[in-house]
A and B are shown apart, each in its own frame.
Chain A
Amino acid sequence: MLRLLSVRLLAMVPMLLIVSFLIYSLIALVPGGPEVALAGNNPTPERIAAIREQLGLDKSFMSQYWSWLTGALHGDLGKSFVDGQSVRSAVASGFPVTLSLVVLTLVIAAVLGLALGLAAGLRPGTWADRISTVTASAFMSLPYFWVGMMLVLVFAIQMRTLPAVGYVPLTESPLEWFQHLILPAFSLATVPTAVVARQTRASVTSVMQEDFIRTARAKGLHPSRLVVKHVLKNAAVPVVTAFGVEANRLIGATVVIEQLFALPGVGKLAYFSVFSRDFPMVQGILLITAILIMLINLAVDLSYGYFNPKVKVS
């Protein structure tokens, strides 16, 4: 397992190199170069030249990339164009917020999605199935930011039971942490919940028809044990796959949701940086995001070996 893990981590290196190059190349897309974008309206050539020199943009593209990359390897992602703050510390301060949000969302999606999917998949064709299927279709189509707005309207503005904005760290007050995150997390969770529910339903219905389920019933197992042990593990692979894809999408959605709920996370930082064309910040965030997503994909891949022992051999 440890060997497999290190092999897979090593395999990420060339991919990361290409990804980092792509990220850095974004600057080349800027019409006139980033210095023009930064210099504001009607800049003088002197001002542009000064910015170029200050930011090291007068060197060749490859040498710029190289110094950025070597810096990144040492944990130095450069400084913000806007306020000179270190990119690493800015991302690091937002990271716990975004991580909290993503993890809470995934927990909600997993619990709700599995419950809905199981309710439907164990008894296809019943009312439980129909209700669950319709709920999933509705969740699937509701725009998450709109769900967020409606939740704010109902719970924060009308009923005043939950805060609409802000964040409290988990270490400070778990209850307030939860109160601040539950609305954004729930809005983000709608689509992943629907996806998990549909995938679970499909997967469970097909596993329930397997011969080994009959074998397990013939052993005298209780239905709940049957589901927990024999159905879920075999139904897991497509569900986990979908979960990984949703986690990816979710990280993108934090940009909007953190904006909506004024959560000081990486998503909000990304939005601000895009608006202020703060390229070092955008690049740093892209790099961190890409690494995070590769790690999620790796975790999903490794989980296949657990759920399906046949995979482990090959």
Chain B
Amino acid sequence: MTPEHEPAKLLEIEDLHVDFLTDRGWTNVVAGVSFDVGPGEIVGLVGESGSGKSVTSLSVLRLLPPAYTRTPGGHVRYRGRDLIGMPQRELRDIRGNEISMIFQEPMTSLNPAYTIGDQIAEGYRRHKGGSRRAAFARAAEMLDLVGIPDAGHRVRDYPHEFSGGMRQRAMIAMALVCEPRLLIADEPATALDVTVQAQIVALLARLRDETGCGILFITHDLGLVAELADRVVVMYAGEVVETAPALDLYDAPKHPYTAGLLSAMPHLGVRGEELPTIPGRTPEPWRMPEGCRFSPRCGHANETCTAAPPEFRIVGEGRGCRCCRTEQLRLVGSP
């Protein structure tokens, strides 16, 4: 790979392992995750809480608390440069500049002691320089771009004067102020009510079209991903269990877990019917099942599933799956 050639991939995560220090010692919570995001592509990273999706996303910019997390193996490459071993100084030049993040809790992710404008301008001045006045004007411009009415005045408001949806818009403005190539959105809509969720998702889709940035969209809600993502990566218990182009995944899931998630999705037009749920819950990281990690909850599991951990295999055009029985199953997608 030579510097003058743009790598085909913006972000490559390869065999990433993350451990947490718990009362039981070091416990593995992300076990060999691999996937990538291309320029201008929206990838949905989906899983229940405890699947390791947030940990994966936070470890890209190394935002996990270093005192009790470690990354014993794997690579995270941004345009060919390894972020895991990169010196802090270099990494700080990338954070907020080339890769930005939006977090789950818009209520607590903004500093209550400074104005919205100050917090947007701060990142801009850090990376692009310029006067306070220019950065503040830029902040107002960004607030306008994310759809805050009367942005020129609201830029001087404090976070507590914004509603939840507006704060998340402000977070997005903050993340995009340096025109990053990659935006990592960690459940950006989860804490918001449904109409606001839809607005935020629509906003992200529009911004991708306008700025051409790649987006890694982390969520537990397959429905949101359906509207937004080009490709979907499904995680379960610290592992990737399936990757596929979004439409293919919805039509024909290859992993029983994905199928389970799809059938648990509410659909318009189907009323009064109780939604099927996946029985059981995500295993604790220190008590992983033998063999396939999903097998205790899987309706299709047999003795081959518990005998050995299944490999992640290519199962079609742009598709991969971690299920040894996938060829024998006829899984139903979203109607």
Contact = CB atoms under 8 A, between A and B. Distances in A.
Interface string A214-246: 111111111000000110011000000000000
B93 interface: yes
Interface residues of B, number: 29
A215 B112 contact: no
Contact of A217 (B63, B94, B105, B160): B63
Given A230-B111, A308-B113, A309-B160, A219 B123 contact: yes
A146 interface: no
Nearest to A123: B67
Nearest to B171: A215
A217 B63 CA distance: 7
Contacts of A218: 61, 63, 95-96, 100-101, 103
Contact of B126 (A125, A215, A219): A219
A307 interface: yes
A217 B99 CA distance: 12
Interface string B77-110: 0000000000000001111110011010100111
Given A125-B67, A211-B103, A214-B103, A220 B111 contact: no
A74 interface: no
Contacts of B101: 215, 218
B126 A234 contact: no
Contact of B113 (A214, A217, A307): A307
Nearest to A230: B111
B158 interface: yes
Nearest to B99: A218
Contacts of B110: 212, 215
B122 A221 contact: yes
A3 interface: no
A89 B95 CA distance: 62
A233 B105 contact: no
Interface of A: 125, 210-212, 214-222, 229-230, 233-234, 307-310, 313
20 contacts: A211-B105, A212-B110, A212-B112, A214-B103, A215-B109, A215-B174, A217-B63, A218-B61, A218-B63, A218-B96, A219-B95, A219-B123, A219-B126, A220-B96, A221-B96, A229-B114, A230-B111, A233-B113, A310-B112, A313-B160
